[in-house]
Structure 1
Amino acid sequence: MDINFNMDKCICHRPLVSVLCRNCGYRLSNCRKKIKCEEHPNVSYIQDLTECPQCHNSNDYLHEYGTSKSFSIRLSTKEETKTRSC
Protein backbone atom coordinates (compact mmCIF):
# COMPACT_ATOMS: atom_id res chain seq x y z
CA MET A 1 0.00 0.00 0.00
CA ASP A 2 1.28 3.47 -0.89
CA ILE A 3 1.48 5.39 2.38
CA ASN A 4 2.14 8.65 0.51
CA PHE A 5 -1.13 8.48 -1.46
CA ASN A 6 -2.84 11.90 -1.53
CA MET A 7 -6.51 11.98 -2.58
CA ASP A 8 -6.34 15.77 -3.10
CA LYS A 9 -3.77 15.36 -5.89
CA CYS A 10 -5.10 12.14 -7.46
CA ILE A 11 -7.46 12.56 -10.43
CA CYS A 12 -7.27 8.94 -11.64
CA HIS A 13 -10.83 8.04 -10.67
CA ARG A 14 -12.63 11.14 -11.86
CA PRO A 15 -15.95 10.39 -13.59
CA LEU A 16 -16.36 9.53 -17.26
CA VAL A 17 -17.96 12.41 -19.15
CA SER A 18 -18.63 13.49 -22.72
CA VAL A 19 -15.86 15.08 -24.75
CA LEU A 20 -16.14 17.56 -27.63
CA CYS A 21 -13.37 18.39 -30.11
CA ARG A 22 -13.39 22.15 -30.56
CA ASN A 23 -11.59 21.78 -33.88
CA CYS A 24 -13.90 19.43 -35.82
CA GLY A 25 -16.99 19.15 -33.59
CA TYR A 26 -16.62 15.40 -33.00
CA ARG A 27 -18.34 14.23 -29.79
CA LEU A 28 -17.71 11.16 -27.66
CA SER A 29 -19.37 9.93 -24.49
CA ASN A 30 -18.17 7.81 -21.55
CA CYS A 31 -14.57 8.97 -21.79
CA ARG A 32 -12.26 11.73 -20.53
CA LYS A 33 -9.54 14.07 -21.72
CA LYS A 34 -6.18 12.64 -20.62
CA ILE A 35 -4.78 14.70 -17.77
CA LYS A 36 -1.56 13.79 -15.97
CA CYS A 37 -2.14 12.81 -12.33
CA GLU A 38 0.38 14.36 -9.93
CA GLU A 39 0.17 11.31 -7.66
CA HIS A 40 0.38 8.67 -10.44
CA PRO A 41 2.11 10.24 -13.48
CA ASN A 42 2.73 6.90 -15.25
CA VAL A 43 -0.84 5.57 -15.02
CA SER A 44 -3.01 5.52 -18.17
CA TYR A 45 -6.65 4.55 -18.64
CA ILE A 46 -8.19 3.27 -21.87
CA GLN A 47 -11.01 5.87 -21.71
CA ASP A 48 -8.53 8.78 -21.55
CA LEU A 49 -8.12 10.56 -24.89
CA THR A 50 -4.75 11.94 -25.99
CA GLU A 51 -6.14 13.26 -29.29
CA CYS A 52 -9.37 13.60 -31.24
CA PRO A 53 -10.17 10.27 -32.95
CA GLN A 54 -11.67 12.16 -35.92
CA CYS A 55 -9.18 14.93 -36.81
CA HIS A 56 -6.23 13.70 -34.68
CA ASN A 57 -5.53 17.11 -33.14
CA SER A 58 -4.00 17.07 -29.66
CA ASN A 59 -6.15 16.92 -26.55
CA ASP A 60 -5.68 20.69 -26.21
CA TYR A 61 -8.73 20.89 -28.52
CA LEU A 62 -10.80 18.48 -26.41
CA HIS A 63 -13.37 19.86 -23.99
CA GLU A 64 -14.97 17.78 -21.21
CA TYR A 65 -18.63 18.22 -20.33
CA GLY A 66 -21.24 16.01 -18.78
CA THR A 67 -23.60 15.21 -15.96
CA SER A 68 -21.16 15.37 -13.06
CA LYS A 69 -21.70 18.55 -11.04
CA SER A 70 -17.97 19.32 -10.97
CA PHE A 71 -17.69 18.92 -14.74
CA SER A 72 -21.00 20.48 -15.78
CA ILE A 73 -20.38 23.09 -18.47
CA ARG A 74 -22.85 24.78 -20.81
CA LEU A 75 -22.02 24.35 -24.48
CA SER A 76 -23.25 26.08 -27.57
CA THR A 77 -22.35 24.64 -30.97
CA LYS A 78 -23.14 25.90 -34.45
CA GLU A 79 -24.05 22.53 -35.90
CA GLU A 80 -25.46 19.32 -34.48
CA THR A 81 -23.02 16.40 -34.34
CA LYS A 82 -23.44 12.74 -33.49
CA THR A 83 -22.41 11.49 -30.06
CA ARG A 84 -20.19 8.43 -30.00
CA SER A 85 -18.90 6.31 -27.14
CA CYS A 86 -15.21 5.68 -26.49
Structure 2
Amino acid sequence: MSPGGKSAKSSSPSPPANYSAAGEEFIGVDDFNEDAHTPESKTGSAYLEIHSRQNNAILKKNQEESIETINYLEIQSFELLNT
Protein backbone atom coordinates (compact mmCIF):
# COMPACT_ATOMS: atom_id res chain seq x y z
CA MET A 1 0.00 0.00 0.00
CA SER A 2 1.07 3.49 -0.69
CA PRO A 3 1.11 6.22 1.95
CA GLY A 4 -2.41 7.23 2.92
CA GLY A 5 -3.75 3.66 2.91
CA LYS A 6 -4.52 3.48 -0.83
CA SER A 7 -3.20 0.70 -2.97
CA ALA A 8 -0.73 1.70 -5.66
CA LYS A 9 -2.08 1.54 -9.23
CA SER A 10 -0.30 1.72 -12.53
CA SER A 11 -0.91 5.12 -14.04
CA SER A 12 -0.17 4.04 -17.62
CA PRO A 13 -3.34 3.37 -19.59
CA SER A 14 -3.65 0.25 -21.68
CA PRO A 15 -3.18 0.73 -25.43
CA PRO A 16 -6.26 1.07 -27.65
CA ALA A 17 -7.70 -2.20 -28.97
CA ASN A 18 -6.08 -1.82 -32.36
CA TYR A 19 -2.57 -1.29 -30.96
CA SER A 20 -0.15 -3.75 -29.40
CA ALA A 21 1.54 -3.06 -26.07
CA ALA A 22 4.56 -1.90 -28.09
CA GLY A 23 2.41 0.68 -29.85
CA GLU A 24 2.27 -1.11 -33.21
CA GLU A 25 -1.07 -0.72 -34.98
CA PHE A 26 -2.73 -3.92 -36.13
CA ILE A 27 -4.16 -3.90 -39.62
CA GLY A 28 -7.59 -5.50 -39.73
CA VAL A 29 -7.85 -5.82 -35.98
CA ASP A 30 -11.36 -7.28 -36.35
CA ASP A 31 -9.72 -10.42 -37.75
CA PHE A 32 -7.84 -10.98 -34.51
CA ASN A 33 -9.06 -12.54 -31.29
CA GLU A 34 -10.50 -9.74 -29.16
CA ASP A 35 -8.82 -11.04 -26.02
CA ALA A 36 -5.34 -11.53 -27.41
CA HIS A 37 -4.93 -8.92 -30.17
CA THR A 38 -2.05 -10.91 -31.59
CA PRO A 39 -1.52 -12.66 -34.93
CA GLU A 40 -1.04 -15.88 -32.95
CA SER A 41 -4.71 -15.94 -31.92
CA LYS A 42 -6.84 -18.62 -33.54
CA THR A 43 -8.71 -16.33 -35.92
CA GLY A 44 -5.56 -14.38 -36.70
CA SER A 45 -3.70 -17.57 -37.55
CA ALA A 46 -6.50 -18.71 -39.87
CA TYR A 47 -6.56 -15.29 -41.54
CA LEU A 48 -2.80 -15.35 -42.06
CA GLU A 49 -2.86 -18.95 -43.32
CA ILE A 50 -5.50 -18.14 -45.97
CA HIS A 51 -3.59 -15.10 -47.21
CA SER A 52 -0.30 -17.00 -47.15
CA ARG A 53 -1.75 -19.70 -49.38
CA GLN A 54 -3.23 -17.11 -51.75
CA ASN A 55 0.09 -15.28 -51.96
CA ASN A 56 1.98 -18.53 -52.57
CA ALA A 57 -0.39 -19.40 -55.43
CA ILE A 58 0.13 -15.96 -56.98
CA LEU A 59 3.91 -16.26 -56.63
CA LYS A 60 3.90 -19.71 -58.26
CA LYS A 61 1.82 -18.42 -61.18
CA ASN A 62 4.14 -15.43 -61.62
CA GLN A 63 7.18 -17.71 -61.52
CA GLU A 64 5.69 -19.96 -64.22
CA GLU A 65 4.90 -16.94 -66.40
CA SER A 66 8.43 -15.61 -65.91
CA ILE A 67 9.93 -18.93 -66.99
CA GLU A 68 7.71 -18.93 -70.11
CA THR A 69 8.81 -15.38 -70.91
CA ILE A 70 12.48 -16.24 -70.46
CA ASN A 71 12.12 -19.28 -72.72
CA TYR A 72 10.37 -17.18 -75.37
CA LEU A 73 13.07 -14.51 -75.23
CA GLU A 74 15.83 -17.12 -75.48
CA ILE A 75 14.20 -18.56 -78.61
CA GLN A 76 13.75 -15.10 -80.11
CA SER A 77 17.36 -14.11 -79.43
CA PHE A 78 18.62 -17.42 -80.89
CA GLU A 79 16.54 -16.84 -84.04
CA LEU A 80 17.85 -13.30 -84.36
CA LEU A 81 21.44 -14.49 -84.07
CA ASN A 82 20.86 -17.03 -86.83
CA THR A 83 19.35 -14.62 -89.36
TM-score by length of 1: 0.21
Richer in helix (by share):
2
Q: Which has the larger radius of gyration?
A: 2
TM-score by length of 2: 0.21
Richer in strand (by share):
1
Return the structure number with greater relative CO, CA threshold 8 A, min gap 6.
1
